[in-house]
A and B are shown apart, each in its own frame.
Chain A
Amino acid sequence: MGRRTVFRRSMFSGKCVAGTATVLALAGMALGATTRKDLHFKVGKHPMVSINNQYGPITVKAGAPHEVVVTAILHSDKVEVDQSQSGSRVDLASHLLPGSDQNSGIVEYQVQVPADANLTLHSGSGVIHAEKLHGDVSLEGANAGIEVVDCADGHVHARTLNGAISINNVHNGHLEITSMGGDIIMNSVSGPFVQAESNSGKIQYDGDFGAEGEYSFTSHTGNIEAVAPAYASIDVLARSNSGAVQSDFSLEPKHAPFLARSINSFSGTLNKAASSVKLFSFSGKIHLKKRQN
């Protein structure tokens, strides 16, 4: 769900008609309904940047050190961007004026920050995209889709009610993801702490459970699927109250007292059991798959 999609949706109430849409979208811009705002801030070490948006996407990528560069596209004159800076702390917020709605209130943010910046990004609806960052990143929004790509080392907190969350190539940090109905997809993710929780959203993981980490995936009704290589070094515990659980690996058995009571579970170790993996669901299915390469 990229920037363009949101923009298109706002013009055509959900219908996506490719060619016409682009033309009309450009026409919309030509009509002067949107304005572009360019902002530039000088910052010191470990800057803090926060962006608070009600409607519209936010894209943040690593850029040059010591500066924060912002391009904001406002979809109407019924919304403003408030900015403030205090030392190395930059705060931006979309400020809806009377009469605005979920279309006219859209602001699209494109931001570049130093890679070690700490970020707090919020959007009511729209995709939040964070890329190549090393600082602590907090991303949240009721219906926002969240994408985290090529990040490492920091704390990443992603929260959404029904937006989809996709984490790609994120390593060596502390990852906490929570959603209600939104699906959580993790590809090539590892680190000392990786936690994904959902209610009905599905949780998918494809990685190596590395870094001697603690991995915990929990859901209420969403299915959990994890794909790991044969060389994965894990101590795994999986259980679902009423969903089927399945492991493609033959695990070294481990003593786990509660297992006696429930057949919907498996546990055991693989290789050196360096990482701990917990896969818990109330009624979702759980499948630990072996990667085929």
Chain B
Amino acid sequence: MNCVEFESVLPDYLEGGHTPEQQAHLTSCSACSNLLADLNSIVTEAPALQAIEDPSPRVWNAIEIQLRREGIIREPAIARPSRSGFFPRWRAAWLVPVAAALVIAAGIKLYHPSGAGDTAPVAKQTPAAPQVVAQAPRHKVSTEDQQVLNSVASRPPAQLASYQNDMESANAFIRDAEIQLKSDPSDIYAQQLLMNAYAQKQMLYELAVDRTGGEQ
């Protein structure tokens, strides 16, 4: 058996049919065994691509609008009280993906692929690991921050001031944690702080809606 023949049966080989002839060829031919190993690596790693990115918040917005237009979302006859059970309560639905995106951004920053591990010197050379998040979270945050602030703008001044204060505290925490993390991405202390900082920001978004208080 030569390489050409081997490669022609490679698909079946990968699915498990191994004849002695094929195995013999493999033992003697490093090119083909390299090829096999590489294809196995690709197949093994492929499922990791299944679920790694989230769509932007506008997708849910568009879906919700359309569902309402088509009457698939129907408001019940009585004003529904709290929306507990499987889902924390909030009235501005668009905040949900934004708040969640924050936590995801933190997660991505912490767990970005750090390369092929210790056996591949190539990966280790790159100083800053590639960012999976396309936009820097900071930019995203300030636009959304503004929208959230707008949604509480009609509140009594004391409440609004308190909320703005909390917003600054949350952002300050995120900034501090990010700086800490940058100096050592593998530092569990910094990672913990960043996750907490984002979780607080998320809580802030979620509780902000409650400040609009009441179905007026």
**CB of B88, distance to nearest CB on chain A (Å):** 8
Q: Of B85, B166, B193, B216, which is within 8 A of A161 by CB?
A: B166
A197 with B199: in contact, given A220-B172, A220-B176 (CB under 8 Å)? yes
Q: Which residues on the B side are within 8 Å of A241 (C-beta)?
A: 176, 180
Q: How distant is the Cα of A52 from the Cα of B189 in the complex, in angstroms?
A: 36
Q: How distant is the Cα of A280 from the Cα of B177 in the complex, in angstroms?
A: 12
Q: Of A162, A220, A278, which is within 8 A of B162 by CB?
A: A162
**CB of B84, distance to nearest CB on chain A (Å):** 4
Q: Of B84, B187, B215, which is within 8 A of A91 by CB?
A: B84
**CB of A121, distance to nearest CB on chain B (Å):** 9
Q: How distant is the Cα of A45 from the Cα of B82 in the complex, in angstroms?
A: 21
Q: Is the CB of A96 within 8 A of B214?
A: yes
Question: Which B residue's beta carbon lies closest to that of A91?
Answer: B81
Q: Is the CB of A50 within 8 A of B81?
A: yes
Q: CB of A129 within 8 A of chain B? A: no
Q: Which residues on the B side are within 8 Å of A216 (C-beta)?
A: 192
**CB of B11, distance to nearest CB on chain A (Å):** 47
Q: Is the CB of B213 within 8 A of A218?
A: no
A52 with B207: in contact, given A162-B166, A199-B170, A241-B180 (CB under 8 Å)? no
Question: Which B residue's beta carbon lies closest to that of A78?
Answer: B214
Q: CB of B123 within 8 A of chain A? A: no
Q: Of B82, B162, B188, B197, which is within 8 A of A93 by CB?
A: B82
Q: Is the CB of A199 within 8 A of B169?
A: yes
A50 with B197: in contact, given A96-B213, A282-B176 (CB under 8 Å)? no
Q: CB of A51 within 8 A of chain B? A: yes
**CB of A161, distance to nearest CB on chain B (Å):** 5
Q: Is the CB of A141 within 8 A of B210?
A: yes
Q: Is the CB of A161 within 8 A of B199?
A: no
Q: Is the interface of B mostly helix, strand, loop or mixed?
A: helix
Q: Is the CB of A218 within 8 A of B207?
A: no
**CB of B198, distance to nearest CB on chain A (Å):** 11
Q: CB of A70 within 8 A of chain B? A: no
Q: Of A50, A94, A159, which is within 8 A of B203 by CB?
A: A159
**CB of B166, distance to nearest CB on chain A (Å):** 5
Q: Is the CB of A178 within 8 A of B193?
A: no
Q: Of B79, B169, B176, which is within 8 A of A180 by CB?
A: B169
Q: Of A92, A143, A278, which is within 8 A of B192 by CB?
A: A278
Q: How distant is the Cα of A181 from the Cα of B173 in the complex, in angstroms?
A: 12
Q: Which residues on the B side are within 8 Å of A178 (C-beta)?
A: 199-200, 203
Q: How distant is the Cα of A197 from the Cα of B197 in the complex, in angstroms?
A: 9
A282 with B180: in contact, given A93-B81, A100-B214 (CB under 8 Å)? yes
Within 8 A of B (CB), among A177-223: 178, 180-181, 197, 199-200, 216, 218, 220
Q: How distant is the Cα of A199 from the Cα of B176 in the complex, in angstroms?
A: 12
Q: Which of B81, B173, B188 has the most CB of A within 10 A?
A: B81
Q: CB of A114 within 8 A of chain B? A: no
10 closest A-B pairs by CB:
A93-B81, A96-B214, A52-B82, A120-B84, A50-B84, A220-B173, A91-B81, A50-B82, A54-B213, A142-B207
A-B contact list, 23 entries, CB within 8 Å? A48-B84, A50-B84, A52-B82, A54-B213, A55-B213, A89-B85, A95-B81, A120-B89, A140-B88, A141-B207, A142-B211, A178-B203, A181-B169, A197-B196, A197-B200, A199-B170, A199-B200, A218-B193, A218-B196, A220-B197, A241-B180, A282-B176, A282-B177
Can you name 9 extra interface pairs (CB under 8 A) apart from A159-B203, A159-B207? A50-B82, A52-B82, A82-B79, A138-B88, A178-B199, A199-B170, A218-B192, A239-B189, A282-B177
